[in-house]
């Protein structure tokens, strides 16, 4: 009987605990049922396609924890790769620079030579979301069927095609990207339809749970590592090989293995649950503002119930980031496609509540500023979607800016980590600036100093919880602002300062609490301000 190369390769994985060397195809089928009989495959070279917020930190930590494994991170984006090879990394994450510098050039490499890195690798991670050159800022489809909700898998598909084209022999291909359930199946079908005699590609799912801002800590001390694969002996062998990589530093009890679909769905479900908690507490914040309750007190009281837990109960101006919205929308789409409309509309509410919270906050700013912000200067502090990252994808700041620009407000934006070009790019997107991209140059100024942003401003709006915003000199800010001077704290970072800020003279508006304040105190307006011209002229001016 003629053995296929595929089966011959299987023979080499079998532990020859008896003297028999030849194993017939039938014997292979029988013996492979017991995974113990399959020899361990050792991963020595890893390639990661996608040098973004996930691929870069994940592979840097793997390289640091596994000095005997060579890790190459590749990307189509030359600028990004150049930055990874420079002193200024393309992303900001606390502790990341030290990790990269400890192993770059030793067992960690960043390259644009994608085919060579794939060819050399035992394991290929797919960690792409969208091409940076593309005009969309999300991997959710922006066209055709499923527009706005379905995941756009074209980048993952193109990776799969490239892998099968340049590969030979045995390789484990692992989805790190968050993908819709059964994406692994699509990858496998592309492999099967393009296979060659020498090729054996195993597909695993290993979704990443890191959170931006704490990526290095999350990677070094993960709550869990999830690896999904086929329930066949080959699938189990690939899972073992990947487990062995993580076992360098993650306790075995935290490495969970499941079937592929459970792994894919777990990632979507985890993000949906996290987003849902934020929308739930945000919905309560609206009630608090209407009733006089304080959402922080409510969160503390309910979070002390161990069944609920205290984490992720922080009311805010709404969640952002590249993942929550797209993953919940993918889940909604999946439910609709599977004819589960009630489940779909349940999860859709999480998104709707988030949008409501952003709109509600913007409306409050407008209402408090005497029902109009047209031509008024507003200092917006924080543009990243959360602190300790420079990532602005789906940041609530973008939407608050949009609603204020729609009303003709003049925005002076400051963020300690986000580049000026990024802010301008985000606000110039058609969905934000609609049919008038010029309005960004008319209405938006980016400043490199928070005090400068507040000069002659009617209001200061905090959109990101950067620690530095707790420590600003608010006396100095107050003096610079027009009166009455408003603070809109969209992140509850100034709670501990309310009494002090009120005694300075600020009017404070925050999420989920009515900050009662005394009558607006009279303060002479600063010279040259809009209100200055309406003040009674001083004697000196008359003379
Ligand atoms: N950002 C997070 O916090 C986070 C956390 C967990 C999971 N995820 C998931 O991980 C995936 C990646 O997210 P990210 O934030 O790192 O995205 P990212 O946009 O920061 O990085 C993706 C990179 O892939 C590159 N790329 C796209 N197509 C490519 C191709 N064909 N060949 C080579 N490079 C290609 C892009 O140029 C880009 O640099 C997404 O599915 C996301 O949902 C993200």
Residues 158-173 have pLDDT tens digits of 999 999 999 999 999 9
Binding-site residue positions for substrate: 208-212, 267-271, 307, 314-320, 385-386, 491
- Compute the Cα dihedral for 363, 139, 431, 466 and give only its sign: positive
pLDDT at 523: 56
Report the residue among 114, 116, 128 best suited for mutation to probe ligand 1: largest number of ligand atoms under 8 A from its CB.
128
**Rounded-to-integer distance, Cα 457 and Cα 486, Å:** 9
Domain 285-516 CATH superfamily: NAD(P)-binding Rossmann-like Domain (3.40.50.720)
With a Cβ cut-off of 6 Å, ligand 1 is lined by: 49-55, 74-77, 80, 114, 127-132, 155, 158-159, 177-178, 208, 210, 212, 322-323
Peptide bond into 106 cis (omega under 30): no
Q: What is the mean pLDDT of the chain?
A: 88
Residues 329-341 have pLDDT tens digits of 999 999 999 999 9
For residue 349, give the H/E element and its range: helix 341-368
Q: What is the mean pLDDT of residues 386-404?
A: 97
pLDDT for residue 295 is more than 60:
yes
Which own/partner contact pairs does 499-507 have at CB distance under 8 Å and 24+ positions apart? 500/474, 501/474, 504/474, 504/475, 504/478, 505/478, 506/474, 506/478, 507/368
**Rounded-to-integer distance, Cα 243 and Cα 224, Å:** 12
- Compute the Cα dihedral for 228, 233, 239, 243 and give only its sign: positive
Check residue 525 and report its DSSP letter: P
Residues 196-240 have pLDDT tens digits of 998 999 999 999 999 999 999 999 999 999 999 999 999 999 999
Residues 458-485 have pLDDT tens digits of 999 999 999 999 999 999 999 999 999 9
Q: What is the mean pLDDT of residues 296-323?
A: 97
Cα 352 to ligand 1 centroid, rounded to whole Å: 25
Q: Which residues pair with 171 in a beta bridge?
A: 201
**Rounded-to-integer distance, Cα 323 and Cα 180, Å:** 12
Which residues, 6 or more positions from 195, have their beta carbon under 8 angstroms from its beta carbon? 164, 201
Report the residue among 47, 48, 49, 54 best suited for mutation to probe ligand 1: largest number of ligand atoms under 8 A from its CB.
54
Report the residue among 47, 51, 52 best suited for mutation to probe ligand 1: largest number of ligand atoms under 8 A from its CB.
52
Cα 395 to ligand 1 centroid, rounded to whole Å: 17
Residues 40-64 have pLDDT tens digits of 999 999 999 999 999 999 999 999 9
As a CATH number, domain 45-250 is 3.40.50.720
Intervals of CATH 3.40.50.720 along the chain: 45-250, 285-516
pTM here? Answer: 0.86
Write the Ramachandran bin of 520: left for phi over 0, alpha for psi from -120 to 50, otherwise beta. beta
Exposed, middle or buried by CB within 10 Å (0-12, 13-18, 19+), for 190?
A: buried
Residues 270-285 have pLDDT tens digits of 999 999 999 999 999 9
The tokens for 101 are: 């510098």
pLDDT at 34: 47
Cα 52 to ligand 1 centroid, rounded to whole Å: 5
Which residues, 6 or more positions from 97, have their beta carbon under 8 angstroms from its beta carbon? 89
pLDDT at 7: 36
pLDDT for residue 136 is more than 90:
no
Q: Point out the residues that are catalytic.
A: 323
Check residue 2 and report its DSSP letter: P
The count of other CB atoms within 10 Å of the CB of residue 310 is: 13
Q: Which one is predicted more confidently, 438 or 295?
A: 295
**3-state DSSP call for residue 173?**
strand
Q: Outline where 194-317 has alpha helix (H).
A: 215-220, 233-246, 260-291, 295-303
Cα 134 to ligand 1 centroid, rounded to whole Å: 13
Cα 50 to ligand 1 centroid, rounded to whole Å: 6
Check residue 191 and report its DSSP letter: H
pLDDT for residue 101 is more than 70:
yes
- In ligand 1, which atom is closest to the CA atom of 132? 37
């Amino acid at each position: 009987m003629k053995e296929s190369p595929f089966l011959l390769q299987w023979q080499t994985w079998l532990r020859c605990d008896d003297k028999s060397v030849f194993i017939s195809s039938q014997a292979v089928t029988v013996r492979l049922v017991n995974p113990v009989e399959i020899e361990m495959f050792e991963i020595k070279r890893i390639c990661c396609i996608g040098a973004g917020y996930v691929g870069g930190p994940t592979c840097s930590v793997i390289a640091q924890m596994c000095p005997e494994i060579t890790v190459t991170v590749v990307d189509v984006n030359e600028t990004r790769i150049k930055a990874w090879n420079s002193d200024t990394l393309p992303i900001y994450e606390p502790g990341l620079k030290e990790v990269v510098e400890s192993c770059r050039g030793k067992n960690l490499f960043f390259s644009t030579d994608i085919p060579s890195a794939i060819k050399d690798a035992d394991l290929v991670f797919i960690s792409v979301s969208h091409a940076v050159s593309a005009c969309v800022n999300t991997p959710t489809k922006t066209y055709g069927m499923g527009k706005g909700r379905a995941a756009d898998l074209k980048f993952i598909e193109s990776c799969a095609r490239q892998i099968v084209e340049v590969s030979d022999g045995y390789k484990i291909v692992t989805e790190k990207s968050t993908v819709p359930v059964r994406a692994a199946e699509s990858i496998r079908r592309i492999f099967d339809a393009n296979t060659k005699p020498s090729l054996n590609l195993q597909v695993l799912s290993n979704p990443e749970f890191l959170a931006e801002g704490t990526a290095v800590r999350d990677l070094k001390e993960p709550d869990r590592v999830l690896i999904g694969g086929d329930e066949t002996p080959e699938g189990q062998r690939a899972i073992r090989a990947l487990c062995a990589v993580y076992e360098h530093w993650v306790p075995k009890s935290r490495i969970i293995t499941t079937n592929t679909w459970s792994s894919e769905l777990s990632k979507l479900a985890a993000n949906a649950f996290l987003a849902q908690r934020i929308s739930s507490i945000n919905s309560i914040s609206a009630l608090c503002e209407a009733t006089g309750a304080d959402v922080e007190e409510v969160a503390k009281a309910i979070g002390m119930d161990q069944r609920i837990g205290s984490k992720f109960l922080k009311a805010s101006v709404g969640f952002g980031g590249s993942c929550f919205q797209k993953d919940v929308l993918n889940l909604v789409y999946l439910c609709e496609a599977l004819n589960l409309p009630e489940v779909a509309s349940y999860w859709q509410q999480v998104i709707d509540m988030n949008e409501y919270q952003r709109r509600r906050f913007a409306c409050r700013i407008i209402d408090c500023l005497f029902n109009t912000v047209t031509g008024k200067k507003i200092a917006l502090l924080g543009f990243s979607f959360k602190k300790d990252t420079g990532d602005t994808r789906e940041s609530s700041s973008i939407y608050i800016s949009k609603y204020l620009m729609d009303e003709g407000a003049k925005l002076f934006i400051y963020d300690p980590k986000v580049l000026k070009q990024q802010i301008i790019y985000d606000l110039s997107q058609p969905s934000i600036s609609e049919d008038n991209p010029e309005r960004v140059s008319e209405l938006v100024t980016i400043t490199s100093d928070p005090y400068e942003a507040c000069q002659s401003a009617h209001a200061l709006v905090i959109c990101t919880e950067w620690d530095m915003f707790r420590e600003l000199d608010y006396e100095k800010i107050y003096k610079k602002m027009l009166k009455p001077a408003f603070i809109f704290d969209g992140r509850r970072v100034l709670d501990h300062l309310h009494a002090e800020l009120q005694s300075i003279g600020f009017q404070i508006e925050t999420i989920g609490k009515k900050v009662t304040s005394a009558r607006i105190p009279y303060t002479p307006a600063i010279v040259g301000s809009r209100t200055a011209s309406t003040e009674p002229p001083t004697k000196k001016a008359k003379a």
